[in-house]
Amino acid sequence: MKSIENINTKISAGTAVVWTASEFKKHIRAGDTITPEDVDVVTCGTFGIMSGTAAVLAFQAAPAGSFTRARHMTLNGIPAHIGPCPNESNGHVDAMVYGTAQSDRPGYGGGHLFADLVAGKSVEAMIETDTGTITRQITLAEMSSAKMIVTRGAFKNYQAFVNPGGDAITTIFSVLPMQGNMREATFSGCGEINPLENDPDLRYHTPGTVALVNGAPGVILGTGTRTSAAKPNLSLAADMRQMDPNLMGGFKMVSGCECLTSVATAIPVTDSAAIAALSVLDENISLPVANVANRTAFDTATYADAWSGDARVRAAPDNCKTPDCTRCRDLCPREAIRSDLTITKSCMGCLTCVAVCPDHVFSAKTGSLHTASGSIPIVLRQSDRVRGELAARLLRDRIRAGSWKLGGGV
């Protein structure tokens, strides 16, 4: 059995063998026999909606003595909860912003705000105090502290959702009302590259272990809320100043906005048990299929079904026969469709445009869930495996460069 200390020594010397989860799986699918002597570290990643994301932000709102207490605040129209420090008379504010918070601007939520701040954009702060209202522009660089906390993220497994009833249902799990009679399915999760799918017993995902959160060095605080033995998840924290706006963001839904977050972790290959856990493939990972009306699972598929389609959408603007139609652009959860119907890098392949465009401007092999109840077409992916793999590669490259150690130090 190798020790983490042994592996860290190899990382420092530049001799460690580091693969991403996808690279490891290619060997497994090829029938290769992998031993702990063949690889030292495997990096895993996931990207998608993680509702339990929040930010604690602090900055100087006004000169000392301008007000005694701040009472309420918004950032780009999004509520920021003042506290817990009273900061009496010093002009400073501490506030928490929830990733799922909604602004007074349609289609803009906490996830969008976080990505805007990380991208260096200026946001408008409106602060109600005991002496009046302060309005000012603020950037992340001007903040004295900006920490992101993920209360539950990187779930080992999610559920897919369908609507068995006859009537369409408005739900947080769809961009449009979900059609009845099980005509469509939505799902989350990055399957075989997800960190906890590859370490289901949490041997290496322990409190104090370093991880990448939205591309920034962070730390695992422990298991997250709603965790269970069958469906563990993580709580993490990281400094927003080192985050990558391409690995985070907001996602418009029919019931408001959700927060997109990415997590990448490194699994040391210390023994044969680690190899066995890392050998899990999409086709072996169950994806329960639940009734969206009560979230009760009644059937099952696999993540091989979920990720059998194209990772990205193709656009053919010349196919458009209704140039005045803005439906695809208006409904895009990532606002990733330009006026000329080309696609920006914000796209995460969610498939919404494929489902709603009558002229087939947008196309992709969407895949279907194969269940005992029949084949159910996938119309929405709330996770992005392309970005999950990107996060895993970023961590792999840091380890190869010797700038990242396993365990509690970077």
Does 332 fall in a domain? Answer: yes
- What is the per-residue pLDDT across 226-248, written as a single tens digit (0 to 9) for each? 999 989 999 999 999 999 999 99
Nearest CA to 36 out of 61, 52, 54, 19 is that of 19
Give the residues across from 375 on adjacent strands.
Answer: 370
| pLDDT at res. 262 | 98
Report whether pLDDT(410) > 60.
no
pLDDT on residue 409: 52
User: 360 in a domain, yes or no?
Assistant: yes
Neighbours of 2 (CB within 10 A): 15
- Alpha carbon distances (Å) from 216 to 26, 64, 262, 296, 398: 27, 33, 10, 36, 11
What DSSP character marks residue 42?
Answer: E
Distance of CA 17 to the CA centre of its chain: 27
- Please report the pLDDT score of residue 373 as a whole number: 84
Does the pLDDT of residue 85 top 80, yes or no? no
Distance CA(127)–CA(333), nearest Å, equals: 30
Give the CATH number, domain containing residue 315.
3.30.70.20
Rounded to an integer, what distance in angstroms lies between the CA atom of residue 141 and that of residue 135? 18
Structure tokens at 360: 């087939």
Angle at 51 between CA 245 and CA 229, to 5 degrees: 120
| Token couple for 217 | 């060095």
What is the number of domains present in the chain? 2
pTM of the predicted structure, to 2 decimals: 0.96
Structural domain contains residue 99:
yes
DSSP E strand boundaries for 200-284 = 210-213, 216-223, 234-239, 249-253, 256-268
In-domain check, residue 34 = no
What the block records as the tokens of 206 is 């322990």
Cβ–Cβ < 8 Å for 129, 268: no
Lowest mean pLDDT among 12-21, 22-31, 149-158, 166-175: 166-175
- 198 lies in a domain? no
SS (H, E, C) 86-152: CCCCCCEEEEEEECCCECCCCCCEHHHHHHHHHCCCCEEEEEEECCEEEEEEECHHHCCEEEEEEEE
Residue 283 to residue 286: CA distance in whole angstroms: 8
Q: Is residue 275 part of a domain?
A: no
Q: Kindly list the distances between the CA atom of residue 362 and the CA atoms of 328, 350, 357, 391, 407, in Å, as whole numbers in the listed order.
A: 9, 12, 7, 26, 44
Domain C-terminal end among 149, 184, 215: 149
Q: What is the pLDDT of residues 316-356, one digit of tens each?
A: 999 999 888 899 999 999 999 999 999 999 999 999 999 99
Residue 320: give the domain boundaries: 311-365
Per the CB < 8 A criterion, the answer to whether 80 and 56 are in contact is no
Last residue of a domain, one of 104, 125, 149: 149
Is 214 part of any domain?
no
Work out the number of other CB atoms within 10 angstroms of the CB of residue 351. Answer: 23
User: Is 279 a member of any domain?
Assistant: no
- Among the ranges given (102-111, 201-210, 379-388, 400-409), the one the predictor scored with the smallest mean pLDDT: 400-409
CATH number at residue 86: 2.60.40
21-30 in b/e burial notation, b at 16+ Cβ within 10 A?
bbbbbeebee
Q: H or E stretch including 330?
A: helix 327-331
**Helix, strand, coil % in the chain, rounded to nearest 5:** 20, 35, 45
